[in-house]
Structure formats: C-alpha cells, structure tokens
Structure 1
Amino acid sequence: MERSFPLFRLPENVIVHVLQNMDFDQLLTISLVSTKSKRLVTSLGLRACDVFIEISRVISLNVEIGGSRFVLYFYNDSNVQNDITLPVDAFLRFECKRIQSSTPFNFSDWMNHIRTIFFCIKSPSVNFYRGCERFEVQSLKDAIGNVNYLSVSSKATDVYNKEVLKRFNAPNELSLERNPFDEACEIQKLFIQSFEFIGIDNVHSLDDMLLVNSEKVNFYRPTTQKQFNRFVKHWIRGSNPRLQHMSLSIDITDSVDREVLLKGIECVGVPEEEQLKICQNNDVVCDHLVQIKREDGTSAVIAVNRIEVFLNVHFIVLY
C-alpha cells in the first residue's frame, strides 16, 4: 500500500518546487483536484508547443511540451455514449490509467482545462480517421475550435467529409485523402483558398493546378509530363503568384522524355553546390535540377528524382 503525501499542507513555494519535478500527466491529474491546485500548476508557465487530435473510434489528444508529450484517450470505452457534450473520463495512453476531474468534464471541458494549464496558444492539428463518424461534427468543432492543420480521411463517407470541410473551414493547412464532391467547382473552391499548405489525393486537371492559391501544394496522384509542361509555361506567364513549392509525380511505366517535360521552356543547369543547398533547404532529394525564370524575373527550379515507376517532381520558387 502506497503512503500518502500531504503535498498541499506544505508552503506554496515548496509545493511549486515539487510540482516542477513531476511528469506532465501527473501535473494534469493534480490540477484537477481543486482551484488551488489548478492555479499552482498553471503558475509553472509550461507551454504546449503542439497539440494533435486524432478522431477515429476514439479521440486521441496528444500534447507536446518541449521534447516530451503525453497522450490522452477519450471514448475508448464501448459503453460510453457518442455524445461528446456529456461527461467523460480521460485515459492515459499505454498505462490504461483513468484520469477523472473533481467535477464532471465533457470533452470541451477537458480541452479548455488543458489549454489553460499548459498555455496552448497554437491551434491544434486535427486528423480524421476510420470510425470518426461516431461523433457529430458540429460538437467536435465547438469543443476544438479553430485548427491549424486538418486532415480528412478517405475512410469516412463523402457526406461526413463534406460536413467536416464545412465546419472546420479555415485551417492553415489541409490534407484531403479523397475528393468528396460531385461537382468540380466544389473542390476548386478549396484550390483557390489561401492556405499555407494543401495536399490533394485525387486526379487533378491543369485547371486545378492553375487555380491553386496556396504557398505549398502536394498532388499525390500522378499527372502527365505534358500537363506539367503546360503548367510551367502558365507559371512563367504569371499564374500561381503565391506558390512557393509544388510536389507531384509522373507515371513513368511507359517513359518520360526530358525533352517533352521541358519542351519550349528556357532553362539552365544549376551548379552542384547550389543544387545541394536548394535540396537541403527544401527537404527534397533530386537527381537533376534546372532553373527557369518567369516574365517578372522570379526564378524557380525544377528538381526531379526517380523512385520505382514514378518520377518525383518538385517545383520550387526562389524568393
């Protein structure tokens, strides 16, 4: 049997010293005891640098503080109702340890409490996975608020995914595993938004590429060398003014002709030392790199490397 320790009978400066040597999950547990304990934990000034929320059959809340993190699970008990406005306990990942508040907390209460004691200033990243349809989208939005990064699962229904995109409508970064829309104009509404990053795993046309108004974009489905060539020519003439980095692939099960890829495009080679610097700065691997210029004088490079039956292409604008 563990002996109890009368922590809160100690002077406050001593209590704070003890708290400073505790793990984050212990601090969370203690902060739930009383108003005083919450105030003392908050006084430590710990700041969460990132918060990740994964929504599937359960809700996983990852809080990163410095180089460490703790993970809480909610609704992993099959007997718990799907309504996230009702009180729910948290479970510490790996330890299967239940964490309860002195007054009943629903998921929104847990979010607000953690935001307060760990100074969560940055909006969280939210990933939707298989089983997320268990939870009502508007309730999730009300509890989570604004998000920084949103990833929408291909395993959920199109109806649910459209609701997610409607409610969580202002992320800085968006990753869409499948286009849930029937009409091309609907997905194109996402292309024209001013994201920092957008990733699309869907067949895309030249018009889609030219509508992209994000700084960085990943097209996960292969395009053709002719479509990429036409895109570059449009960029040279002034399209996609916000674009900084576009990543895509070209299916080379048949063949890729460098002359077709760069046909009609004036380009020059890049010195090896400069190639290495560009690749390191943009976290890319390439076998070949050429530089082009648009009509306003802005430079860009086209970096390519072959992996199995695909040619990975990085279009990087140099500012």
Structure 2
Amino acid sequence: MFYFRLDFSVVSTKTNNLVTSLRLKATEVDITIYGSNDVGLFIRTSHLNTGFRPSTLFDFSAWINYIRTFFCYTPPPNVRFYDDCEKYEIELLKETIGDVNVLYVSRQLTDVMSREVLKQFNAPRELFLNRNPFEDICQIQQIFIQNYKRIVFDDVHSLEDMLLVNSEKAELSHPTTQKQFNQFLKHWIRGSNPRLQRMDLLIDSNDFVNGEVYLNGIRCMEMSEETKRGIREKHELLEGGMVEIRRKDGTPAVIATYDGHRGLNIYLIVLA
C-alpha cells in the first residue's frame, strides 16, 4: 500500500487530471468541525491525506462537490462536531453536507449547540454522543429508540434507557451497576431489545466490594475453550470470562467479561 500526501485545489486542472488518471476513489470522508473543517480521504489502493480550512460555506460546498465528483464518492460522510463550531449555522451545514454516516457530538459543545446538531443531523447510521444535552428525560429517550446501526453514549443511563435501545450495537461507556445490568439481562431474556446484536458496558470496580451478583438468577452454560477462542477472534475481544445464555425463544448469546482499569468490561453478544 502506498501513501500519498498531496495539496489539492478545486480549480487545478493538473490536480483533476492526476486524480482521474490514477483512478483514485475515496472510500470514506471525514468532516471535522471546530471553527475550521478538515476533510480526510481514504482511498482503496492508497492512503491519501489532505486538509483544508474553508473560510466560507461557499468554499466548503465547493470542496464537498469536488470530492463527490473527482473521487467518485457518493456515500454520506462522517461528521464530527467539537467546540467553537458556533461560527457556522448548523442548518446551513446540513444543507451543504446532506445526510451523514457517522455523527460524533463532543462533550465540548454546549447543550444548546448539541441539541441543534442532533436536530439537524437526525438520521445518522452511527451516533457518538459524549454527553446528555437534554433536561427532559423523554428527549434523550427519543435518541435511544432510534434504529441506528450503532450508538455510543458516554453519560449516565437508567435501566429504562437500556431497555429502549433500538440499535444493533450499543456502547454505554458510563459505569452502571451490577443490579442494573442483571435486571436488563432478565428483561432481554424475556424478549426486550429485539434488534440488539451487541451491548458493551462497564461496571465500576467499587460495585464489587460485596461480591459478584450481576449474573444472579441467570441460567448460564459453560463453553469449550475452542468455542470461546473463536468468539473472541470474531468479535475482537480480550482474554477473559465467557458464558452462554439463551432467550426464552432459544436465541443464544454470550456474556464476555474483561477486567479493565476502571472496572469490569461486559459484552453481551447475540450469536444468532
């Protein structure tokens, strides 16, 4: 694989001819917004890095059109919002960018700005939300019930929030408790969260002072080391504990664990 670093211009005939002759095609586009914008292009046969700082939305729009035209890029881009993005009108950015693949909303944004970003870019394939910007519980729960491919949420979440998750994959980074996870598992076994294929979460180490109770009342089945090894490789898990559980309808899943520096990392992975 070759690595290129080139300076592009939307008006350069030489650059356009080079891109066309090399048949460079972008496989992913990242837009980072924090008072300036960077667009990273990832090419199938090489890795191409180029950055720019558009001073106006017109300039930004020209770059987006250039990428779509000369790099044959039609999928939605990934968009990341950080602090100091208030200089841009989010509604105009939405009109320029269109739909997005991955939406990342940093905890550095104000609550008002976070809500505006979520309002305008309301249908990403994947959502990374570092902080809950809503005062009303019902509003954050409206986020959980969306059918994302993946949601990553790094703030306090309740059992009700967990049961409302409608994504295929959920990563809840803020520590939960053994009791809350145990309650969630029992609901899942009875049929909750039908779209869920994987949930990653963390139980704080301080919650284990009086012992382990997160699997209390759960029928767990032992697994062969070969089966465990295959699941770890497929799902990129570190060495740790693993047991099999089943829903009432017979759907198999595993509970994998790994002792991390913040506590016990837990992975619920549906196998069917």
Q: Residue 260 of structure 1 aligns to a residue in which SS? A: coil
| Among 88, 92, 100, the residue aligned to 1:135 | 88
Please identify, of 283-292 and 236-245, the stretch whose mean Cα deviation from structure 2 is larger. 283-292
Query: Could you say which residue in structure 1 is the equivalent of 2:120?
Result: 167
Query: Could you say which residue in structure 2 is the equivalent of 1:229?
Result: 182
Please identify, of 280-289 and 189-198, the stretch whose mean Cα deviation from structure 2 is larger. 280-289
| Among 29, 32, 49, the residue aligned to 1:51 | 29
Q: Residue 51 of structure 1 aligns to a residue in which SS? A: strand
Distance between the aligned counterparts of 1:22 and 1:276, measured in 2?
Answer: 35
Q: Tell which structure's C-alpha radius of gyration is larger.
A: 1
Q: Residue 300 of structure 1 aligns to a residue in which SS? A: strand
- Runs (4 or more) in structure 1 with deviation over 6 Å come to none
Query: Could you say which residue in structure 2 is the equivalent of 1:15?
Result: none
| Among 49, 68, 90, the residue aligned to 2:47 | 68
For structure 1, the 5+ residue unaligned runs are 1-20, 86-105
Tell me: CA distance 1:308–1:274, structure 2 relative to 1, closer, same or farther (3 Å). same
1:307 to 2:260 alignment? yes
Tell me: CA distance 1:258–1:281, structure 2 relative to 1, closer, same or farther (3 Å). farther
Distance between the aligned counterparts of 2:36 and 2:218, measured in 1?
Answer: 51
CA RMSD between the two structures: 2.2
* Equivalent position amino acid for 1:244 in 2: Q
Query: Could you say which residue in structure 2 is the equivalent of 1:9?
Result: none
Query: Could you say which residue in structure 2 is the equivalent of 1:193?
Result: 146
Distance between the aligned counterparts of 2:222 and 2:140, measured in 1?
Answer: 36
Query: Could you say which residue in structure 2 is the equivalent of 1:215?
Result: 168
Give the structure-2-normalised TM-score. Answer: 0.92
Distance between the aligned counterparts of 1:48 and 1:245, measured in 2?
Answer: 29
* Equivalent position amino acid for 2:39 in 1: L
Tell me: CA distance 1:297–1:57, structure 2 relative to 1, closer, same or farther (3 Å). same
Query: Could you say which residue in structure 2 is the equivalent of 1:288?
Result: 241
Query: Could you say which residue in structure 2 is the equivalent of 1:25?
Result: 6
Query: Could you say which residue in structure 1 is the equivalent of 2:109?
Result: 156
Distance between the aligned counterparts of 1:118 and 1:259, measured in 2?
Answer: 53
| Among 54, 57, 61, the residue aligned to 1:84 | 57
Distance between the aligned counterparts of 1:271 and 1:265, measured in 2?
Answer: 19
Tell me: CA distance 1:113–1:232, structure 2 relative to 1, closer, same or farther (3 Å). same
Q: Deviations over 1:50-101 (max 9, x none)?
A: 11111112111111112312221214xxxx5xx423xxxxxxxxxxxxxxxx
* Equivalent position amino acid for 1:25 in 2: L
Distance between the aligned counterparts of 2:187 and 2:3, measured in 1?
Answer: 57
Percent of pairs identical after alignment?
A: 47
Q: Residue 41 of structure 2 aligns to a residue in which SS? A: strand
Tell me: CA distance 1:155–1:222, structure 2 relative to 1, closer, same or farther (3 Å). same
Q: Is the 8 A contact 1:42 1:116 kept in 2?
A: no
For structure 2, the 5+ residue unaligned runs are none
1:266 to 2:219 alignment? yes
Distance between the aligned counterparts of 1:242 and 1:276, measured in 2?
Answer: 25
Q: Deviations over 1:6-47 (max 9, x none)?
A: xxxxxxxxxxxxxxx995736x44x6235x974774465321
1:278 to 2:251 alignment? no
